[in-house]
Amino acid sequence: MASVFSSTLPSIPRWKSLRNSLRFAHNPIATLDQYISEYGPTYEFHLGGMVRGILTTDPGLAQHVLQKEHRKWRKSPIQTERMGHFLGNGLLTSDGEYWLRQRRLIQPGFHRKRLAALTTIMNREIDEFLNSRFEPALATGEPIDMSPMMMELAFRVVAKSLFNTGLDEEGLNFLGDTVTILQGFITRTFRQPYLIPWLRFSGQYRKHELLAEKFEKMILERIQGRRASGERHDDLLQMLLEARYEDTGEGMTDRQLLEESAILFVAGHETTANALSWAWHLLARHPEAVERLRREHNTVLGGREPAFEDLPRLEYTQQVIDEAMRLYPPAWITDRLCVEDGEYGGLPLPKGSRVVIYIWGIHRKPGLWEAPEAFRPERFSRERKGEYHPFAYMPFGGGPRLCIGNNFALMEMQLVLVKMLQRYEMSEVPGFEPGLQPLITLRPGNGVLVQVEKR
Ligand code: HEM
């Protein structure tokens, strides 16, 4: 492919990155968008004024790094070491040979057909949540903030999909709160790396390490309890317990099971919760899309509960989810570190280069998308899906490290949208703006207020 760059990139002066680092910490998307308008779609920068990198919104470069030349690239130490320090060495945070072996072991358990068994757990959890947590909140008649609601729902769905038994309310709440606190802390160390020495000195680091240890202990007890009971359940823990390495025929140790489960907790709820919150924000503003969803749900389901086999037929529901994740990609940015010299269309990519793939920017890039700011679910219809570059839409990343939970998440989101629309009317709260809070995932800054009524 012909290069769109010369071999030297526009570069943001170090002093400018440093001067803007506070602004970046508070409002990264606005800062990055501003840089793109000044310096173009791919430029050099210094994260927090310190770490040098290349930021890109070129889907070709994203594909080059994540897929075509993936052997020359590793997850950056930010993801592996700093997240791994608190969250353990699971699929999201491991790398190299170890990651590949784990990915091969776990991948079959996330195959769509294997997930069918989870539909029952998901449907039950959604109903329980709506009955016991969501509906009581409707009684006041006040608008509902969907963001914490979806966070709690998605956490319960992933927790129960992992541990169908053995987690009481107290345990669920502790795990949910801990994940939120740890993520907040880790994000702070990414954004403002110059604070790390102070965080260590003030005891903040140790405090969060102790919390992570408590979290691990709780999960480990559940794993050991299941092993000892000899019971079989149709959940993700069972899948992890039964997975066998091809070469040795052995399963994972308790430590490995712990690390992989902890990562599924972390990777599997906030992303999905944000995607759902953003979908409600968009649907509240687009009653015509809600009308179309209702027609589809009536035709396919006629009022009954969605089953696994129904999901492929709920095409427009899927398109709404796709479009919500295009406009608001929960994983809005990712990065990789080069471990072997290479080049992309004339752009030298020497060992040590760091490439930051700005997924938000790619998803809203004029030229890649017609009317990029507009909510148009039809752009994801079956007939039109081939119209865009394969890496112009990458909510789940791409290449061998594509999100392993993508089918799990899509299934869960379809079930939630269908079940909630079967029960409720949703409408916009006039004048409300959700704002943006891009932490590790893209959260709404002010929540997502929606007027909800029982149908
Ligand atoms: C809408 C929901 C979700 C989104 C947008 C999302 C997005 C992503 C993205 C972009 C990556 C790749 C990160 C990178 O390459 O740097 C990823 C990886 C991962 N995701 Fe998801 N995810 C979602 C839901 C889930 C769920 C439900 C689970 C588990 C139940 C999950 C588990 C993982 C794991 C384990 C990885 C690491 C895979 C590997 O490196 O081998 N995700 N996710």
For 311-342, how does the pLDDT look when each residue is reduced to its tens digit (9 = 90+)?
999 999 999 999 999 999 999 999 999 999 99
Q: Answer yes or no: are the C-beta atoms of 49 and 21 closer than 8 Å.
A: yes
Cα distances (angstroms) measured from residue 444 to each of 317, 333, 354, 432, 437: 22, 16, 28, 12, 5
93 lines ligand 1 (CB under 6 A): no
Question: Residue 128: which domain range?
Answer: 14-454
Q: Does 156 map to a domain? A: yes
Q: Does 45 map to a domain? A: yes
306 lines ligand 1 (CB under 6 A): no
Which range of 73-87, 199-213, 228-242, 351-365 scores highest in mean pLDDT? It is: 351-365
Residue range 16-35: average pLDDT?
85
3-state percent helix, strand, coil for the chain, nearest multiple of 5? 60, 10, 30
Beta bridge partners of 335: 356
Comparison of pLDDT for 177 and 3, the residue scoring more: 177
404 lines ligand 1 (CB under 6 A): yes
pLDDT at position 155 is 94
Residue 146 token pair: 């969907």
106 lines ligand 1 (CB under 6 A): no
330 lines ligand 1 (CB under 6 A): yes
In the chain, what percentage of residues exceed pLDDT 70?
96
Residue range 279-304: average pLDDT?
97
Per-position b or e across 343-366, b if 16+ CB within 10 A of its CB:
ebeebebeeebbbbbbbbbbbbbe
> For residue 277, is pLDDT > 60?
yes
Q: Does 238 map to a domain? A: yes
Taking the model in full, what pTM does it have?
Answer: 0.93
Q: Is 91 helix (H, G, I), strand (E, B) or coil?
A: coil
CA 90 to ligand 1: nearest atom = 35
Cα distances (angstroms) measured from residue 383 to each of 320, 325, 380: 15, 19, 8
CA 395 to ligand 1: nearest atom = 5
Q: Does 9 map to a domain? A: no
How many independent structural domains does the chain possess? 1
Q: Is 437 helix (H, G, I), strand (E, B) or coil?
A: strand
Q: Does 21 map to a domain? A: yes
**CA 55 – ligand 1 centroid, Å:** 21
Q: Does 123 map to a domain? A: yes
136-167 pLDDT per residue, tens: 999 989 999 999 999 999 999 999 999 988 78
pLDDT at position 3 is 34
Q: Report how far Cα 136 is from the mean position of its chain's Cα atoms.
A: 29
* Backbone phi and psi for residue 301, each to the nearest 5 degrees, phi listed first: -115, -25
Q: Does 426 map to a domain? A: yes
Q: Does 397 map to a domain? A: yes
438 lines ligand 1 (CB under 6 A): no
Measuring from atom 11 of ligand 1, which residue has the nearest CA?
Answer: 403
442 lines ligand 1 (CB under 6 A): no
Q: Pocket of ligand 1, candidates 403, 439, 440, 442: which has the most ligand atoms within 8 Å of its Cβ, to mutate?
A: 403
Residue 229, C-beta contacts closer than 8 angstroms, at least 6 positions apart:
none
328, amino acid identity: Y
> For residue 2, is pLDDT > 70?
no
d(CA 171, CA 192): 32
Q: How confident is the model at residue 4 (pLDDT cuts 50, 70, 90)?
A: very low
408 lines ligand 1 (CB under 6 A): yes
279 lines ligand 1 (CB under 6 A): no
Q: What is the CATH number of the domain that holds 329?
A: 1.10.630.10
Mean of the per-residue pLDDT values of the chain: 91
Measuring from atom 21 of ligand 1, which residue has the nearest CA?
Answer: 403
Which range of 68-82, 197-211, 366-380 scores highest in mean pLDDT? It is: 366-380
